[in-house]
Amino acid sequence: MVKKILVCAYFAKNLGDDLFLKILFDRYPNVEWDLLTANRNYKRIFENYRNVKITYLYRGLNFRNHNYNPFYLLNDLFLSYKKYDAFINIGGSIFMQSPAWKLKLSEREYLLRKFKKLGKKAFVLGANFGPYKDEQFIEEYKELFYEYDDICFRDTYSYTIFKDLDNVRLAPDIAFSLGSKVKRTNEKSIGFSIIDLEKLEGLKEYYEPYNDKVISLIEDYINQGYKIKLFSFCDNEGDLKVINFIKENINSNFSSDLQVFNYDGNIETFLREFKSCQIIIGTRFHSVILAMLNNQPFFPIIYNEKTYNLLVDLKMNKVCCHIKDIENLSVESVVEAIKNNTFNNSKVFLNADKQFEKLDVFLA
């Protein structure tokens, strides 16, 4: 009998999270997947997968009586929990302490307990934990995690916080299991993964220094004869907005040397363009992962500790720059540091499959 699984993820047309979904669906073509999302773009993104459907999540409806949450009311009306064999929460930074974290926690508790009450399985795959501000956040999530059948974190830092739970495991990032099948071109180009710091908590003050440094790096590499490819991994989070700002503020003589690639849901096209670059300067977490996967020389600019934790795990943390130190970063030091900074550890790529270890058993 074909198993049917409900999927919770970060449905915001973010390349990294959509990669997770693609890998999941490709790995289990005989499973029926229902995506719990209000984002109708996902019907198009995965339209070629006959085993993937959208189960629309209803949010933000205007009820006169605010004593109940539409999340609970409407999802109980439209979801038949009994038809599912399990649910999976898959994603990277899905456990961050935002101002509304208690609401998010209550929604997760509600959904999880619906499934557990019916004797269904529940999995968390590919996540890291944090950033967080206080111990209450950890303790509340420890109680929640205890009820899952399997939780697999992607970094040692997150795993260590919850390692006393028997159902918690550790394996490399899911994207490492993607494989690299696209043949690289001989094009002399360098790829930049750009993010918008303006609305990120605690990072707004680095918005201008970061943009200025990126512009300096771009201009230097153009002077060295490189074509520049600017990659927006998530338009929804402002990547494309900042790329357009950079284009407007760079030396006008260089405009013909710039190409922009905004992830619009076409995963293969985006990956192909990314791999065509000889060098990657990456701020997005998965720009670093993809550079490693493609054996491309890379330089990470760290805006979130999840990237640094990854580099520590892989013993690659000597060559990088934290956003807070961006003003002190010289173009010359980046050019020199990047020359031999490649990663090619096939064991890591193989071990990434262990993210699915328990799910493999369940679906066997």
Q: How far apart are CA 227 and CA 238, in angstroms?
A: 23
86-90 sheet: strands from edge to edge = 52-56, 32-37, 4-8, 86-90, 121-127, 150-153, 168-170
Q: Would you say the C-alpha torsion 298, 304, 310, 313 has a positive or negative sign?
A: positive
Q: What is the pTM of this model?
A: 0.93
Token pair of 204 as six digits:
């707004």
Query: 146: which residues sit within 8 A by CB, 6+ positions away?
Result: 165, 167
The answer for residues whose C-beta is within 8 angstroms of residue 150's C-beta and 6 or more apart is 123, 124, 167, 169, 358, 359
Q: Give the pLDDT score at 133.
A: 93
Q: Which residue has the tokens 């189960």?
A: 55
Other CB atoms within 10 A of residue 76 CB: 12
pLDDT at 25: 97
pLDDT in tens, 128-170: 999 999 999 999 999 999 999 999 999 999 999 999 999 999 9
* The two three-digit tokens of residue 171, written as one number: 């394996």
Which residues, including other chains, have CB under 8 Å from residue 9's CB and lie 6 or more apart? 17, 20, 21, 35, 37, 89, 90, 91, 94
**Cβ(320)–Cβ(301) below 8 Å:** yes
pLDDT of residue 177: 94
CB 165 within 8 A of CB 176: no
pLDDT at 186 over 50: yes
- For residues 66-87, give the mean pLDDT: 67
What are phi and psi for residue 192, nearest 5 degrees? -115, 125
Average pLDDT on 345-352 reads: 92
Q: Residue 212 is encoded by which pair of tokens?
A: 């200025």
User: Domains of the chain by range and CATH?
Assistant: 4-170 (3.40.50.2000), 189-344 (3.40.50.2000)
Q: Dump the DSSP string for 234-259.
A: -GGGTHHHHHHHHHHHS-GGGGGGEE
Strand partners for 190: 228, 279
Cα–Cα distance for residue pair 296/343, rounded to 1 Å: 8
HSE, CB side, 13 Å, CA atoms: give it for residue 80.
Answer: 3
pLDDT score, position 66: 38
Secondary structure of residue 361 in the 3-state scheme: helix
Instruction: Note the pLDDT of residue 65.
Output: 40
- Mean pLDDT of the 167-195 span: 86
> Given this model, what pLDDT does residue 60 score?
43
The values of phi and psi at residue 280, to 5°, are -125, 130
Q: 69: pLDDT confidence band, cut at 50, 70 and 90?
A: low
User: How is 76-95 classified by DSSP, letter by letter?
Assistant: HHH--GGG-SEEEEE-SS-B
Indicate whether 268 pLDDT > 50. yes
Using alpha carbons only, give the angle 298, 302, 308 rounded to the nearest 5 degrees.
90
Query: Which CB contacts under 8 angstroms, 24+ apart, belong to 18-23?
Result: 18/45, 18/263, 18/265, 18/267, 19/174, 19/175, 19/178, 19/267, 19/286, 20/90, 20/91, 20/92, 20/125, 20/126, 20/174, 20/175, 21/46, 21/90, 22/46, 22/267, 23/174, 23/175, 23/177, 23/178
Residues 89-106: pLDDT tens digits? 999 999 999 999 999 999
- Answer yes or no: is pLDDT of 182 > 60: no
Q: What is the DSSP string of 295-320?
A: T--EEEEESSHHHHHHHHHTT-TTS-
pLDDT at 187: 78
Q: Which structure tokens are listed for 312?
A: 């520590």
Summarised one tens digit per residue, pLDDT across range 30-67 is 999 999 988 989 999 999 999 999 886 554 433 334 34
Distance, in Å, from the CA atom of 177 to the CA atom of 91, rounded to the nearest integer, reads 15
